Amino acid sequence: MSSEQRKAFPFSEFEPKWQGEWEAKKAFRTPNPGDADFDASKPKYFVLDMFPYPSGNGLHVGHPEGYTATDIIGRFKKMSGFNVLHPMGWDAFGLPAEQYAIKTGTHPRVTTEANVANFTKQLKSLGFAYDWDREVNTTDPGYFKWTQWIFLKLYNSYVGDDGKAHPVSELEDQGLSREEIDHRRLAYVSEAPVNWCPQLGTVLANEEVVDGKSEVGGFPVERRPMRQWMLRITAYAQRLIDELDGLDWPESIKLLQRNWIGRSEGAHVTFKVDGIDETITVFTTRPDTLFGATYMVLAPEHRLVDEITTEEQLAAVEEYREKTARKSDLERTELAKEKSGVFTGAYAINPVNNERIPIWIADYVLMGYGTGAIMAVPAHDERDFEFAKKFELPIKQVVQPPEGHDWQGYTDNGIAVNSGFLDGLPTLEAKHKIAAWLEEKGLGKGTTNFKLRDWLFSRQRYWGEPFPIVWEDGQHRSIPESELPLLPPTLEDFKPTGTPEPPLSKATGWVQYSATAKRELNTMPQWAGSCWYYLRYCDARNSERFVGEAAEKYWMGGGKPGGVDLYVGGTEHAVLHLLYARFWHKVLFDLGYVSTPEPFQRLVNQGLILGEDGQKMSKSRGNVVNPDDVVREYGADALRLYEMFMGPLEQVKPWSMKGVEGVYRFLARVWRLVMEQNEEGSWSVSAALQDVPANKQLTKALHETIKKCGEDIEKLSFNTAISQMMVCTNAFTGAEVKPASAIVTFLKVLSPFAPHLAEELNQQIRARFPALAAPGFLSDETWPAYDPAALIEDEVEVVFQVNGKLRDKARVPVAASKEEIEKIALASPRVQEFMEGRPVKKVIVVPGKLVNVVV
RNA sequence: GCCGAUGUGGUGAAAUGGUAAACACAGCGGACUUAAAAUCCGCUGGAGGGCAACCUCCUUGCGGGUUCGAGUCCCGCCAUCGGCACCA
């Protein structure tokens, strides 16, 4: 109790109280279309946070940053007459729980449940207005049933000539063979080389490999060919670029995605191999430089290497190929500074001039991009230039750069030279002409290439969604939807097998689907569950469908490309999660299951919160701030308010406990506007609080605050909204008599930010002035309207400048005309002094603002 | 190397092309108190001048430009952070 007395206001009593009230009365339950209390006349607002992975460490202060922002928006929109969908859930599959299981034998489900319970308790202690009835958990069979169901949709779909997903049954109707169909599925099996990490005992996606090491743990990663499930995201590459246009996302994030997808326009050109009946097709973005191709390079893995290598070069080529195959990605990039390669002994014929050019292999050409073969134009490509210098290959100029540039290694546009019929043409025209020429001769054609690769979708793990697939006679097939959800087997031993064989192989009974069929042993990656969770929120308890049609139409509709009105989360998901979710959404859209082409209309990335030392928070630095401690010391409202007051939401900013104290003091000042303490230390409604109208000055402060806070919340400029509330509070603090109804209005404005304090004070005021306070929750009140008339003053201060420098100010009537103001300004002794008798050249008058006299 | 973001007091920051530094933090001074904490009131970008109320000059990473007027717009640099990195 003694520590209670040190508190400036009794937040530790009323915060849990209001959390209990909200929960008991389901204050933030959001009815769905079809529910008895659903009001279809209201517009909808779907505000979403990136749901957390419930780790064993609990919340860190970064979580409540975005969550508070969305909570303020959600509460504000609710008060502004919207049906607000503001849910929370758990992205709970994933490696940490599994690794913990390996260490301790505790089942991941047990760990996950405990962590979810802890996170829930923590989030509830912050007073977020979630509709907990819509909570989702990716590891819940009722949820992943539908993740598996969506996988089956991908498995049973292909992309047609119209660029849209269609059921593969259409291909069956067209009489395509089983094999042909398998080649077109959006979920398909591939033998491609993958990133195998021996320590983790799993294959990783390219995105999970950083600098040749695993993102988790930093273990070395090798390349090895393995049978994997892939998702054909590349079929959507163009749409994933194009359909960014209609979204309200930061341009920098759109750019990040566009670059990741990496569209580039160019041409395929086919070269004959000299002496044998083979051709090699290359992809180039600079077909205009074809005359400058002095050699050709194949990726070491290119299938034609065996065919074309001459006897004399065989040994060298074999050695080089083995060396590259052994190299990890890390080594391959590390050695990138120094080019390497081997001559195959073969020559290709340049189709434009019939020149014989040597064919090399080199690991700077990647098998996974384009055709895995390039024509090398060393004069106008940096990499080819480097390679040619190292191996003393000829360098031939075919582009004339503008004055002042060396042609050697010049890669920009210029004028074609030494290029036969292209000579004299600027690069762009030369590209068109050569493309037409190639097409006419049947030697090539214009093509578009993407950097984006198909999505490696299988993992050799236990704690993930099992694939609803079985294998029989070397062929895969889906299990019937009626068998979903397919639960993972119960395992005692979670250790990786140490071979690429997934841990599910240990569940021998589970594996055996029938006498002749075995289950797929891979599981889905963590991304799977987060690809569609926002849809499940719309109708989280539906057991008939992944989301009910009416609910999806209402919450995801609204006439914009994206369904979620606001999505807040960290930049770390700028590419992968957002790209994957967009891809799945488009497939579901094409198949008619959702009503918008995009999932997220408006995206905002919150900035990282650093430690007090300005460094990234980490256990090893000892600068981690635990939100539970802040709540205990200063209360949930202070934490919420501080996180928003620190600075712009998008910005990276350091934590400051002093700053928390600052907003805490502000909240205490608000408390004392209403409450006073007697000598025993107990609080009661202050005698200064009276049922009187606010004077003109307070009314103005209040209405300015209503206006600015409303506008700032829409802009997510919470820091400036809070400073305006501070200004308003300071004005009220200075008043002898506190007008009760004005304070109630102020509390409504404060309530989205500091909901506990606002509700408590409203209740206290209601006890004294029943007619003035809100009868129920402030969150059920309407956001106050401001009176523009209250903002207008009779007089405004006008600044007088001479030659742009501030020289004097005066208060003038608002209604004063330009001429009147100018007259007052010119009459000012200070203005005259600085005019020094020089003649007036020009006078600029901005009514209500300033006068600038130019002499 | 390429792409993007950021750069304003001692600190976090604020400013539709129109009074730079609102609002806070820290600091200093005062009131209350036996005292301290808490609270309340005031001062607080830099340099110079004046007994004083005040006054002058300078100041938004650096250098140019547009404009009556630039933290804000344009051009060129520098620094920090983030992303990508042989993608032909």
Per-residue CB contacts under 7 A with strand B, chain A residues 318-337: 332-333, 335-336
What would the DSSP string read from start to end of A565-610? SEEEEEGGGTTHHHHHHHHHHHHHHHTTSSS-SEEESBEEEEPPEE
Query: Can you tell me the distance from the alpha carbon of A601 to that of A179, in angstroms, rounded to the nearest whole number?
Result: 39
C-alpha of A563 from chain center: 15
DSSP, res A220: B
Q: Say how far A70 CA is from B15 C1', in Å.
A: 26
Residue A802: in which H helix or E strand, if any? Answer: strand A795-802
Query: Can you tell me the distance from the alpha carbon of A384 to that of A378, in angstroms, rounded to the nearest whole number?
Result: 4
> pLDDT (tens digit, 9 = 90+) per residue, A314-344?
999 999 998 887 776 666 666 456 889 999 9
Find the helix packing angle between A636-645 and A718-733, rounded to 10°.
120
Q: Give the residue from A795, A776, A787, A768 showing the smallest Cα distance to A694.
A: A787
**How many angstroms separate the Cα of A829 from the Cα of each of A145, A247, A459, A824, A833?**
82, 56, 81, 10, 6
Q: Which nucleotide is nearest to A808 (CA to C1')?
A: B19
Q: Say how far A649 CA is from B31 C1', in Å.
A: 39
Q: Which nucleotide is nearest to A726 (CA to C1')?
A: B23
Q: Which nucleotide is nearest to A852 (CA to C1')?
A: B68
Query: Can you tell me the distance from the alpha carbon of A537 to that of A563, in angstroms, rounded to the nearest whole number?
Result: 12
Task: Let me know if A102 is exposed, middle or buried by CB neighbors in 10 A (0-12, 13-18, 19+).
Answer: middle
What pLDDT does residue A3 have? 41
pLDDT < 50 regions, chain A: 1-5, 335
CB atoms within 10 A of CB A163: 12
Q: Could you tell me how many residues make up chain A?
A: 855
Decide: A264 and A449 in contact? Cβ < 8 Å: yes
Domains of chain A (ranges; CATH) run: 2-148+528-610 (3.40.50.620), 153-234+459-525 (no CATH), 263-450 (3.90.740.10), 683-790 (1.10.730.10), 793-854 (3.10.20.590)
Q: Which two tokens stand for residue A682?
A: 């107990």
Secondary structure of residue A293 in the 3-state scheme: coil
Q: Give the residue from A602, A582, A652 showing the smallest Cα distance to A257.
A: A582
Per-residue CB contacts under 7 A with strand B, chain A residues 51-70: none
Query: Can you tell me the distance from the alpha carbon of A364 to that of A660, in angstroms, rounded to the nearest whole number?
Result: 53
What pLDDT does residue A836 have? 78
Q: Which nucleotide is nearest to A366 (CA to C1')?
A: B87
Asked if the Cβ of residue A846 lies within 7 A of any atom of strand B, the reply is yes
Asked if the Cβ of residue A305 lies within 7 A of any atom of strand B, the reply is no
Decide: A298 and A364 in contact? Cβ < 8 Å: no
C-alpha of A147 from chain center: 20
Query: Can you tell me the distance from the alpha carbon of A248 to that of A125, in angstroms, rounded to the nearest whole number?
Result: 32
Asked if the Cβ of residue A726 lies within 7 A of any atom of strand B, the reply is yes
So what's the ipTM on this one? 0.95
Query: Can you tell me the distance from the alpha carbon of A431 to that of A453, in angstroms, rounded to the nearest whole number?
Result: 27
Secondary structure of residue A166 in the 3-state scheme: strand
Per-residue CB contacts under 7 A with strand B, chain A residues 376-395: 381, 383
Q: Say how far A96 CA is from B72 C1', in Å.
A: 47
Decide: A456 and A228 in contact? Cβ < 8 Å: yes
CB atoms within 10 A of CB A780: 11
Per-residue CB contacts under 7 A with strand B, chain A residues 652-681: 652-654, 656, 658-659, 661-663, 665-666, 668-669, 672
Beta carbons within 8 Å of A147's beta carbon, 6+ residues apart: A138, A465, A524, A528, A529, A531, A532
Which residue type sits at A322? E
Strand B footprint nucleotides (protein C-beta < 7 Å): 3-6, 11-16, 18-20, 22-26, 38-41, 56-57, 68-70, 81-88
Beta carbons within 8 Å of A397's beta carbon, 6+ residues apart: A292, A379, A407, A408, A417, A418
Question: For the CA atoms of A88, A93, A95, A98, what is the dihedral angle to 10 degrees?
Answer: 120
Q: Give the residue from A287, A304, A443 showing the smallest Cα distance to A372.
A: A304
Examine residue A351 and say whether the peptide bond preceding it is cis (omega within 30 degrees of 0). Answer: no
Secondary structure of residue A815 in the 3-state scheme: coil
Asked if the Cβ of residue A285 lies within 7 A of any atom of strand B, the reply is yes
C-alpha of A750 from chain center: 29
Which residue type sits at A603? L
Decide: A541 and A555 in contact? Cβ < 8 Å: no
Secondary structure of residue A158 in the 3-state scheme: strand
Query: Can you tell me the distance from the alpha carbon of A270 to that of A183, in angstroms, rounded to the nearest whole number?
Result: 25
Which residue type sits at A774? A
Task: Let me know if A533 is exposed, middle or buried by CB neighbors in 10 A (0-12, 13-18, 19+).
Answer: buried
Q: Which nucleotide is nearest to A797 (CA to C1')?
A: B19
Query: Can you tell me the distance from the alpha carbon of A434 to that of A449, in angstroms, rounded to the nearest whole number?
Result: 18
Q: Which nucleotide is nearest to A846 (CA to C1')?
A: B18
Query: Can you tell me the distance from the alpha carbon of A163 to that of A161, in angstroms, rounded to the nearest whole number?
Result: 5
What pLDDT does residue A1 have? 33
Asked if the Cβ of residue A605 lies within 7 A of any atom of strand B, the reply is no
What pLDDT does residue A333 have? 63
